[in-house]
Amino acid sequence: VVIVVGETARGDRWQINGYGRPTSPSLAAGGFVSFPEAYSESNTTHKSVPMLLSHLTADTFGDSIYSVKSIVTAFREAGFRTAFFSNQRYNRSFIDRFAFEADTTLFIKEQPGASGESLDMELLPLLKEELARGAGRQLIVLHAYGSHFSYNDRYPEDFARFVPYEYTDASLAAKDRLDNAYDNTILYTAAMLDSVASCLRSSGAEAAMVYASDHGEDIFDDDRHLFLHASPVPSRWQIDVPMIVWISDPMAARHPGYFDAACANRPMPVSTSRSVYHTALQLAGIGSPLFDPKLSVVSGEYKKPARRYLDDHNCAVDLDAILAR
């Protein structure tokens, strides 16, 4: 199982979710299922990623974040070899603590001689190397830098499909160029996900990938002229995120219900903060007292979640009430 944690990607900017631009043509076929009604329970990385990688939600985060173990430990206790590869920097957060629960942990930006602006595709050689170990069961977490501003630093020139994309400042006047650059980051992320699936497909193993972004982003979308994320009161664009599941043919053949359930659940609202953990456990066949099939998008028992949000005081509040402000 590979979990890809994205950064600052909005769900409404993905072609696979109905966006009018070809931002994810590489995901048009081949076992990918995307959930266009996905949302995050936080608009900040240091809260959203720990929820993605644990059983915690907005309702339990404040009580348990200081003592909880992540999904990495759950897989290790089930006999999986685990690896955590990141294109982020150390930030002394719960994310770092979770990362070092793995058998192998590497932050590529922290390596001697590393460039300051490494691209997410640079995680792929580490993925291939880890797969080549031939461990019977593996969990690999890839923490990408995704669509984090400044957008033009997140992709190489050959992914600059949407033009013009050059901007000198983040202003309303530059919105069209910012949008183009941002959409180029989504194109690059989609290609990365396709490459991850190709690596797993080439292995011939029963394999699956789960991808979700930590939060979304404002790009001067309405008359409030908001930009970036992490504001005390989030807009809908800050919590609108992609969630995508890919299942290999061997896994689909052995567990046909997984892919069928994912397709059936595709129109349903999904809280990534609740579902990534439980979906990954089910795909791996791991039993746990914490596992809830009603939160796994590959389960026939999946149910619509409560729409909750973790505010600045680590209190769970009704998300719809916040967005209505």
What's the maximum distance between 2 C-alpha atoms anywhere in the chain?
54
pLDDT score at 114: 76
Instruction: Say if CB 309 and CB 234 are below 8 A apart.
Output: yes
How far is it, in rounded angstroms, from Cα 295 to Cα 53?
14
Residue 91's pLDDT band (boundaries 50, 70, 90)? confident
Judged by DSSP in three states, 266 sits in coil
How far is it, in rounded angstroms, from Cα 258 to Cα 248?
11
pLDDT score at 117: 81
How far is it, in rounded angstroms, from Cα 59 to Cα 292?
15
Domain that holds residue 34: 2-323
How far is it, in rounded angstroms, from Cα 200 to Cα 207?
6
Q: pTM surpassing 0.95? A: yes
For 164-174, write each residue's pLDDT tens digit. 999 999 999 99
Is the pLDDT reported for residue 34 higher than 90? Answer: yes
pLDDT score at 63: 83
How far is it, in rounded angstroms, from Cα 176 to Cα 282?
42
Residue 312's pLDDT band (boundaries 50, 70, 90)? very high
pLDDT score at 116: 72
Instruction: Say if CB 249 and CB 40 are below 8 A apart.
Output: no
How far is it, in rounded angstroms, from Cα 38 to Cα 270?
4
How far is it, in rounded angstroms, from Cα 103 to Cα 13?
35
pLDDT score at 264: 98
Is the pLDDT reported for residue 260 higher than 90? Answer: yes
Smallest CA-to-CA distance from 241 within 278, 272, 274, 219 is with 272
pLDDT score at 206: 96
Residue 224's pLDDT band (boundaries 50, 70, 90)? very high
For 53-73, write each residue's pLDDT tens digit. 999 999 999 989 999 999 999
For 191-201, write each residue's pLDDT tens digit. 999 999 999 99
pLDDT score at 92: 86
Compute the mean pLDDT over every residue in the chain, rounded to the nearest whole number: 96
Per the structure, how many domains does the chain have? 1
The CATH number given to whatever domain includes residue 174 is: 3.40.720.10
Q: For the residues 245-265, what does the mean pLDDT come to?
A: 96
Residue 324's pLDDT band (boundaries 50, 70, 90)? confident
